[in-house]
Amino acid sequence: DVKVTQSSRYLVKRTGEKVFLECVQDMDHENMFWYRQDPGLGLRLIYFSYDVKMKEKGDIPEGYSVSREKKERFSLILESASTNQTSMYLCASSSPSAGGPYYEQYFGPGTRLTVT
């Protein structure tokens, strides 16, 4: 069973703080993704990574950065948190060799971030 874990389920931060969201997967997947989910907007891709030290911008990268120093870990960084970054953040992973449907992504439980 693929397991994707996220460091926190709930997080409250102040405006201007630097925020780190951590994601770890245990299935040796090459691909990792960060999304945010907002009511009425669905899942929007922030950043993704195809391999260690590689990153690609998604649809809404502004205000975020990422880090992938190890294959199993993908970090999302909010350099200076703002109230409009209050959201549910979801991490996912996938692999062409996972054995399931090629494009299936496995999601973590999410981190509900509130910026006050």
Partner 1 sequence: DQQVKQNSPSLSVQEGRISILNCDYTNSMFDYFLWYKKYPAEGPTFLISISSIKDKNEDGRFTVFLNKSAKHLSLHIVPSQPGDSAVYFCAASTARDDKIIFGKGTRLHILP
Residues in contact with partner 1, counted by CB under 8 A, come to a total of: 30
Residue 68 or 108 with smaller CB distance to partner 1: 108
**Which helix (H) or strand (E) is 33 found in, with range?**
strand 31-38
CA neighbor of 111 nearest in space, from 4, 1, 17:
4
Nearer to partner 1, 17 or 59 (CB): 59
State the binding string over 21-60 for partner 1 (x if CB under 8 A, else -).
Answer: ----------x-x-x----xxxxxx--x-x-------x--
Nearest partner of 108 among 88, 94, 90, judged by Cα = 90
Q: What gap in Å lies between CA 93 and CA 56, rounded to an integer?
A: 14
Binding site for partner 1 (CB under 8 A): 4, 9, 31, 33, 35, 40-45, 48, 50, 58, 90, 92, 94, 96, 100-110, 112
